[in-house]
Amino acid sequence: MARAERMAPARLAAFALVGVGALLLVSPFYFTFVFASHTRSAIFDTPPPLWFGSAALANYGMLIERLPFWRNFGMSVYVAVMTTALNLLLCSMGGYAFAIYEFRFKKPLFAMVLASMMLPAFLNMIPSFMVMQFLGWIDQPRALYVPGAAGALGIFLMRQYIASGIPRELIDAARMDGCGEFRIFWSVVLPLAGPALGTLGLITFINSWNNFIAPLVVMRSAENYTLPLALRSMQSPNNTEWGTLMVGSAIAMLPLLVAFFFCARRLVAGLTAGAVRG
Binding positions for other proteins, 29-48, rule CB under 8 A: 29, 31-32, 35, 39-41, 43-48
Q: Is 185 in the site for other proteins (CB under 8 A)?
A: yes
Q: Is 71 in the site for other proteins (CB under 8 A)?
A: no
Q: Is 183 in the site for other proteins (CB under 8 A)?
A: yes
Q: Is 271 in the site for other proteins (CB under 8 A)?
A: yes
57 versus 271: smaller Cβ distance to other proteins? 271
In the complex, the smallest distance separating the C-beta of residue 191 from other proteins, rounded to whole angstroms, is 14
In the complex, the smallest distance separating the C-beta of residue 141 from other proteins, rounded to whole angstroms, is 10
Q: Is 69 in the site for other proteins (CB under 8 A)?
A: no
Question: Contacting other proteins (CB under 8 A), which of 13, 18, 57, 275?
Answer: 18
In the complex, the smallest distance separating the C-beta of residue 222 from other proteins, rounded to whole angstroms, is 6
Tell me, letter by letter, the H, E, C secondary structure of the chain.
Answer: CHHHHHHHHHHHHHHHHHHHHHHHHHHHHHHHHHHHCCCHHHHCCCCCCCCCCCCHHHHHHHHHHHCCHHHHHHHHHHHHHHHHHHHHHHHHHHHHHHHHCCCCCHHHHHHHHHHCCCCCCHHHHHHHHHHHHHHCCCCCCHHHHCCCCCCHHHHHHHHHHHHHHCCHHHHHHHHHCCCCHHHHHHHHHHHHCHHHHHHHHHHHHHHHHHCCHHHHHHCCCHHHCCHHHHHHCCCCCCCCCHHHHHHHHHHHHHHHHHHHHHHHHHHHCCCCCCCCCC
Question: Contacting other proteins (CB under 8 A), which of 56, 229, 244, 247?
Answer: 229
7 versus 57: smaller Cβ distance to other proteins? 7
Question: Contacting other proteins (CB under 8 A), which of 16, 114, 191, 275?
Answer: 114
Q: Which region among 52-60, 71-79, 138-146 touches other proteins (by CB under 8 A)? A: 138-146
Q: Is 119 in the site for other proteins (CB under 8 A)?
A: yes
Q: Is 107 in the site for other proteins (CB under 8 A)?
A: no
